[in-house]
Amino acid sequence: MDIALVQEPIFYQSRIKGIKSCYRTYAYGKEKSRAAIIIPNDALNAIMITQCSENDTVLLEIKMGQEIFHAASALMEYNDAIENSLRKIEKLLKFTRGVKFINAVDRNSMSTAWHDVTTNVRGTLLEEFILSNQLQIINEESGRTIFHITRGQSNIDITITDIKILTATDKLEISEKEIASNHNII
């Protein structure tokens, strides 16, 4: 693993619980942060773009050899109007225009486009946003779900990219590894 894009991390003493201290961790607002990016690979150089980062969103510029790309981790709050979250994504897209971009997000929206069993209103609005911005959904169909609680399970988390990074992204899969979260590792 070179990069982990994390939503709703659990912090303990200013560190994300379960993450080795030798890994570089980027989170805006530290213990109030609801998104983070973890880089265990020393060959990657990264800098947080603070003008596009906040408690629910972290954006990094990452250099890997001669390649430069942007990675974002974000949370779209389920009880916040989706239009607010879409404006945040638009801000990221505007900043990263022309550079490879990958965005992993707890979208709190359902759609058959990312292999959920149904599509809700938030999912439809997000689908339209993705299409109108020429983004690609890279979630793959799996027998496992990403989000699970006692009331049910769903694929509410998605990873989107621009077309420039799509071919450079390895296959994503939902891990069977147990973690202290109601979201599985992708």
Give the integer Cα–Cα distance in Å for 67 and 35: 24
Residue 149 counted as domain residue: yes
Q: Residue 112 in 3-state DSSP?
A: helix
| Residue 125: HSE in the Cβ half-sphere, 13 Å Cα cutoff | 14
51 CB-contact burial (10 Å; exposed 0-12 / middle 13-18 / buried 19+): exposed
Residue 87 counted as domain residue: yes
Give the integer Cα–Cα distance in Å for 64 and 71: 12
pLDDT of 80: 86
Residue 131 counted as domain residue: yes
pLDDT of 29: 82
Owning domain of residue 108? 45-166
pLDDT of 180: 42
pTM: 0.81
Residue 112 counted as domain residue: yes
58: nearest Cα among 83, 14, 99, 26: 26
Per residue in 104-158, pLDDT tens? Answer: 888 778 888 877 778 889 889 999 999 999 998 886 655 544 444 454 454 457 7
CATH of the domain at 145: 3.60.10.10
Q: Are 115 and 145 in contact (CB under 8 A)?
A: no
| Residue 181 reports pLDDT greater than 80 | no
Residue 179 counted as domain residue: no
Structural domains of the chain, count: 1
Give the integer Cα–Cα distance in Å for 183 and 180: 9
pLDDT band at 179 (very low <50, low <70, confident <90, very high): very low
Token readout for 23 is 């890994």
Residue 7 counted as domain residue: no
Q: What is the DSSP letter of 10?
A: P
Residue 75 counted as domain residue: yes
Give the residue ranges of DSSP H helices in the chain. 82-96, 121-132, 163-166
Helix (H) or strand (E) holding 123: helix 121-132
Token readout for 142 is 């799996």
Residue 14 counted as domain residue: no
Per residue in 36-93, pLDDT tens? Answer: 899 999 999 999 999 999 999 999 999 989 999 999 999 888 788 989 989 999 999 9
